[in-house]
Chains A and B, each alone.
Chain A
């Protein structure tokens, strides 16, 4: 079992960024080809996501405390407005439909998720144990929407990596053991420095602590 983050680590990585840091980070994202949107509250973020997802869209919601805590996972899976891919994948026959599952999971029209760290230079860091959710973020999904609590803003990539290993990983490990009965692991890390396809990636920075 991985030790929980100590008080100092928690203090470093849970403080909400100031308005100035948020604004600077948003500007950096924009320079990097990532569209920044600012939400004052979780409820505002939820409404923004709803406005960005067209009715009938094929949407995959990444495993994310942020999405679950603010109701976006609910909206995607149960509102009836979208084609929620998790539901479709869950009822597929893992023996006979492996290829269909892979193809479906790899290239949704929309993927909605969060990150583990957002640097002031406009880089996004996401860690994943299975790695299955990273491919769509990089290139498979048509559109990417990320909801990021402002406590995740860090000075640079090095701080982002520390946030992953020292803060997020112990919490995620505990969650995985509860949810899956198996430990987690920082098995894959994705760093998005720039988005090459214009308009593909949207980052909603929320002025609340959301997720890990």
Chain B
């Protein structure tokens, strides 16, 4: 590490996480901390020197892993994400008994809505299960977002947006998934996984999508042990000199290739389609094509995995090839498609399309099971429940781009105002 690196290092004690590199629980904590921008030191339990340097001993109680040493010196054995979040003071209670707008999800759409809503005087709260930024927050560089000619990393965009939203008084409740929303008079009550209740006069679902599961035997067993959903921002350094495979044809997959190619020996991108043009932005296609240690394999799918305690190879089949091919792989990042994240909407009566995306606007009133109650049609981003809106990737028909999500989140606020005025007491 250079002296400049030390100038960029906190002088107060860092959180230390000790664990097995193949541990799913350890990965979950690394991912949580990275995505929340919380600096930490990772210690591989399989490296005695590193363990001794931090703990003063080399023998570890394996049942205590992952072990988290908080900055105040306290220790969490067999730590979970929830415990780490609580230990860091990241689990806050809502400050108000009622909000004008409750936003499910703090990705680009949710953050944009929060900034605009709070800046216009609405009592605003965001609830976010993992970390601000959503899928965009894990992207190493967004180069086509307005106003950033040199690009901006997803993490920086998220960090700035959170600061901005908080500056206007919006709250962010982290680390607890939304488990349900029910109507309560003219408004709604949302419940979080820890039982926290939040009252909102209006609700915005900006919960985005989660990565589609790769239907290959063994994937679930290897999660965190070489197999990761998403672009794995916490794993870049660990991929130094590694063989990395990325699956997916969208911008997130492309950015993952760009990022990991800086660290890995070789990055192989697998896409099912004939070329990258179907879903990847041209500037990213150009970048990926120019990377000397990156290779794109078209019409290729993962058909199997080879592993011992962690991933060792990915078995792929291309086009009409009769025989599968074995690709040595230390890490596999799965960035395919997206399934709308609507867990908190279950049981609310919200209508979705067949793929599970929330239907909004005039379509929402016409969907089977809609029960739209008002003489007017739903507003453009409004669902079939008056005062419940959707924006960004979770919404049926949205353009799946960061810029579009931000636009919808911003736009939703004007519609929230109209609804609040209609319901009385805007």
Cβ of B259 and Cβ of A96 under 8 Å apart? yes
- How far apart sit A25 and B211, CA to CA, in the bound complex (Å)? 63
A87: contacting residue among B5, B39, B89, CB under 8 A: B39
B91 touches A (CB below 8 Å): no
Which 9 residue pairs across A and B have the least CB separation, nearest first?
Answer: A89-B8, A95-B262, A90-B39, A96-B140, A130-B3, A91-B39, A77-B12, A86-B10, A73-B11
A78 and B8 in contact, given A56-B167, A91-B34, A93-B233 (Cβ under 8 angstroms): no
- How far apart sit A103 and B38, CA to CA, in the bound complex (Å)? 20
A24 touches B (CB below 8 Å): no
- How far apart sit A63 and B3, CA to CA, in the bound complex (Å)? 11
Q: Which residue of A lies closest to B153 (CB)?
A: A97
Cβ of A95 and Cβ of B263 under 8 Å apart? yes
B73 touches A (CB below 8 Å): no
B159 touches A (CB below 8 Å): yes
B34: chain A residues at CB < 8 Å are: 91
B47 touches A (CB below 8 Å): no
- How far apart sit A130 and B2, CA to CA, in the bound complex (Å)? 9
Chain B residues touching A, majority SS: loop
A133 and B12 in contact, given A80-B89, A93-B236, A97-B153 (Cβ under 8 angstroms): no
B150: chain A residues at CB < 8 Å are: 99
A133: shortest Cβ distance to chain B, in Å?
6
Cβ of B39 and Cβ of A100 under 8 Å apart? no
A88 touches B (CB below 8 Å): yes
A101: chain B residues at CB < 8 Å are: 8
B1-37: which residues lie under 8 A (CB-CB) from chain A? Answer: 1-12, 14, 34, 37
Cβ of B159 and Cβ of A88 under 8 Å apart? yes
B170: shortest Cβ distance to chain A, in Å?
13
Cβ of A97 and Cβ of B3 under 8 Å apart? no
What's the interface size class on A, roughly?
Answer: 35 or more
B141 touches A (CB below 8 Å): yes
A91: chain B residues at CB < 8 Å are: 34, 37-39, 155
**Partner-contacting stretch, out of A2-10, A176-184, A196-204:** A176-184
B369: chain A residues at CB < 8 Å are: none
B46 touches A (CB below 8 Å): no
Cβ of A96 and Cβ of B4 under 8 Å apart? no
Q: Which residue of A lies closest to B40 (CB)?
A: A91
Of listed B10, B159, B262, residue having the most chain A CB within 10 A: B10
Of listed A74, A91, A95, A97, residue having the most chain B CB within 10 A: A91
- How far apart sit A56 and B71, CA to CA, in the bound complex (Å)? 21
A69-114: which residues lie under 8 A (CB-CB) from chain B? Answer: 73-74, 77-78, 80, 83-84, 86-97, 99-101, 105
Cβ of A86 and Cβ of B8 under 8 Å apart? yes
A84: chain B residues at CB < 8 Å are: 10
B3: chain A residues at CB < 8 Å are: 129-130, 176, 180, 182, 184
A80: shortest Cβ distance to chain B, in Å?
7
A56: chain B residues at CB < 8 Å are: 163, 166-167
A129: chain B residues at CB < 8 Å are: 3
B11: contacting residue among A68, A88, A89, A184, CB under 8 A: A68
A96: contacting residue among B5, B6, B71, B141, CB under 8 A: B141
A3: shortest Cβ distance to chain B, in Å?
22
B350 touches A (CB below 8 Å): no
A82: shortest Cβ distance to chain B, in Å?
11
B6: shortest Cβ distance to chain A, in Å?
6
A132 touches B (CB below 8 Å): yes
B39: chain A residues at CB < 8 Å are: 87, 90-91
A83: shortest Cβ distance to chain B, in Å?
6
Q: Which residue of B lies closest to A183 (CB)?
A: B3
B207: shortest Cβ distance to chain A, in Å?
25
B9: chain A residues at CB < 8 Å are: 86, 89-90
Of listed B34, B152, B156, B263, residue having the most chain A CB within 10 A: B156
A61 touches B (CB below 8 Å): yes
A180: shortest Cβ distance to chain B, in Å?
6
Q: Which residue of A lies closest to B258 (CB)?
A: A96
Interface pairs (25), CB distance under 8 Å: A56-B163, A61-B11, A78-B71, A86-B11, A87-B10, A90-B8, A90-B9, A90-B39, A91-B38, A91-B39, A95-B259, A96-B153, A96-B236, A96-B259, A96-B262, A97-B140, A97-B153, A99-B150, A100-B156, A105-B8, A130-B3, A132-B4, A179-B6, A180-B6, A184-B3
Q: Which residue of A lies closest to B13 (CB)?
A: A78
A132 and B7 in contact, given A56-B167, A90-B39, A180-B1 (Cβ under 8 angstroms): yes
A83: contacting residue among B152, B153, B163, B258, CB under 8 A: B163
